[in-house]
Amino acid sequence: MAQKLSYQDIAADIVQLVGGAENVMSLTHCITRLRFKLKDEGLADTQALKNHDAVVTVMQSGGQYQVVIGNDVADVYAEVEPLLNVSSEDTEDAPKEGNLLTRFVDVVSAIFQPILGLMAACGMLKGLNLLFNNLGWYEQSSGIYIILGAIGDGLFMFLPVFLGYTAASKFGLKPMLGMLIGIIMCFPTIQASALSADGSPISTLFADTPYATDVYMSFLGIPVVSMDYTSTVIPVIFVVYAASYIARFFDRVIPDLVKFFFSPMLTLLVAVPLGLLLIGPVAALGSSAIADLVISLRDVSPLLAGLLVGLTWQILVIFGLHWGFIPVYINNIVTNGYDNVMMPFFACTFATSAVVLGVFFKTKDKKIKQLCMPNFISGIFGVTEPAIYGILLPLKKPLYISCIAGGIGGAFYGAMNFRKFVMGGMGIFEFPGMMNPDGSPDNLYVAFAGVAISMLSGFILTMLFYKESPQEVEAETTLAQAVEDESAALEEFEVLSPVNGTVLPLSEVKDAAFAGGKLGKGVAIDPSDGHFLSPVDGTIITVFPTLHAIAIKADSGAQILLHIGMNTVELKGKGFNCHVSRGDQVQAGQSLVDVDLEVVRAAGYSTTTPLVLVNHAQHQITDELEQEHFNIEAGQTLFHTIDSKGTANVS
């Protein structure tokens, strides 16, 4: 905490910077942050708050405006509350949900976070493989092309498997069950392409209409409209989301004796067929309707049709609604010798790459900067998924800019009747297919001009209008720098696991402050039971009134924060039975709190429990923290730590 400011001064600053007392609808706090619900978040000066010496960071999530303070939050809260005209319980009129689109984007971005590095790596390999093949270094029939193709395409082909795992972690479903759902959705025999190739349709839905859809199988007499689920994103996320609620229901009603296998079995039997029955028709009808709209609009104005395709293509890809253009594209090339309906999308590929390049020059976030260049290169080769899900979607504004730039290029292509004559190729390797068979280079010139227009638009708009929000700028100060601990010693000590469960990287925690390391370094644990023990010998310095968070000062001076679950402050102690109080001396392995995890899950909250070293400016973790999941038992060593000025040998 800044030494020159009193808690009263800090409170006055915060109230002023959130837009004044009249802008505050309600206020609560948890172990580290003030949780405001504001009438208009636009009135808050987020950047000024972020730069305030007493504030670690600011987060806007779930309709709450969260000002992260750290260990002094209770003292600051005590001074803020009298300045407001609302009760800490006055939440009746506060919005219960944030903007739906924003929340959706945040969820999808969080689900992609653990695999962004893999996507960038595979995208680069995929692009390089295409480059080397086009340079004539080896043929598509060669072993090197096939093997590198498998390496580059493997993640994208089976993307639902990876997303099933990460989505399950996000939604509180067992990750392996989510992975299995992804595998089922990639199973060869349920893909639309396989079904249509192996047999004739058993019926046709919406026959004699523009939305006629062939049906190749049924489930309990209900027609199943199939689609190709490989490489898709949204379908598996929706199915896993539904499965998380279905699993909670079965976990509550099935006896413990048979829950281990009956609950996942019944969850799969309900969630997967339900998802396949609902998603297929929505995707098929939605994509067909959009393609028909573009075709009809092209008859009126090719420029507007191109604008619509370029403007919406990235969004259509995210939702898997772009497939409706593929039959039109193929039919046009086979029948007319060229396609000019779908081709305005070509602008989007290069608009995306240019926006990523602009973000590279604008961002101060080292992690984002590291992703930009490989994503830019893979985008030039036509592989834009890493850029979309790793940069554009999480940052939001670059996605909007990319859509606008794609729309500008698409409108140009539409107005110039841009065509493609030969199928195949991706990114820069599509140019040969744009050469007119009659030898005229005019269409190829249009292709180059459209790429230039799209890239210049995307890059210039990004440089002019993209500014990092407070959530996107890494905090210059951490909680450890705000909390001085002059009694730190130079001794090594162990931090033990407080509970049985699965250890996760902090980056997978569904809270940006913990996931970004702003509240300390450490790990998270997905507990398998609710019996939490002390991880160190020391003194209890904080037991939050709702019992979900406990801070311990180890005998060496290191401060350990145990935060049980996410947003469990809202339970107000329900399901928690604490055995210690502030000031108690505890030994490693001593019982701290018992938690009914079923109560937490039934209320819709994650039980993922971060355990972090708060004052990591004074103490360092000497172990390389695992980025993979592994099981651990209470009392086993999680990591070792020493005073930051000391040295120790750790076996």
Q: DSSP for 248-313?
A: HHHHHHS-HHHHHHHHHHHHHHHHHHHHHHHHHHHHHHHHHHHHHHHHHHHHH-HHHHHHHHHHHH
Sign of the alpha-carbon torsion through 44, 47, 51, 54: positive
In the numeric block, which tokens belong to residue 644? 């930051």
Bridge partners of residue 26, in order along the sequence: 37
Q: Using only the alpha carbons of the chain, give its radius of gyration.
A: 27
Measure the CA–CA gap between 209 and 608, rounded to whole angstroms.
50
The residues near 261 (Cβ < 8 Å, ≥ 6 apart) are: none
DSSP at 491: -
Widest pairwise Cα distance in the chain? 87
Of 348, 421, 409, 425, give the one whose Cα is nearest residue 127. 425
Measure the CA–CA gap between 27 and 37, rounded to whole angstroms.
6
Secondary structure (3-state) at 433 = helix
- Alpha helices of 502-553 — where are they, by DSSP H? 512-515
Measure the CA–CA gap between 536 and 252, rounded to whole angstroms.
34
Measure the CA–CA gap between 272 and 261, rounded to whole angstroms.
17
- Alpha helices of 135-254 — where are they, by DSSP H? 143-157, 159-171, 175-185, 192-198, 234-253
Cα-flanking dihedrals φ and ψ of residue 71, to 5°? Answer: -65, -25
Measure the CA–CA gap between 394 and 51, rounded to whole angstroms.
23
Measure the CA–CA gap between 562 and 600, rounded to whole angstroms.
16
Q: 563 an active-site residue? A: yes
Which residue, chain included where needed, has tokens 């651990």? 632
Q: Are 139 and 145 in contact (CB under 8 A)?
A: yes
Measure the CA–CA gap between 250 and 255, rounded to whole angstroms.
9
Measure the CA–CA gap between 411 and 302, rounded to whole angstroms.
8
> Which one of 29, 52, 548, 563 is the catalytic residue?
563
Measure the CA–CA gap between 135 and 104, rounded to whole angstroms.
42
Measure the CA–CA gap between 375 and 436, rounded to whole angstroms.
31
In the numeric block, which tokens belong to residue 26? 């309600």
Element housing 68 (H / E): strand 64-68
How long, in residues, is the chain? 651
The letter for the amino acid at 577 is N
> Which one of 30, 348, 403, 578 is the catalytic residue?
30
Measure the CA–CA gap between 360 and 126, rounded to whole angstroms.
22
Secondary structure (3-state) at 426 = coil
In the numeric block, which tokens belong to residue 435? 């050469």
In the numeric block, which tokens belong to residue 410? 């698409």
Secondary structure (3-state) at 551 = strand
Return the active site residues.
30, 563
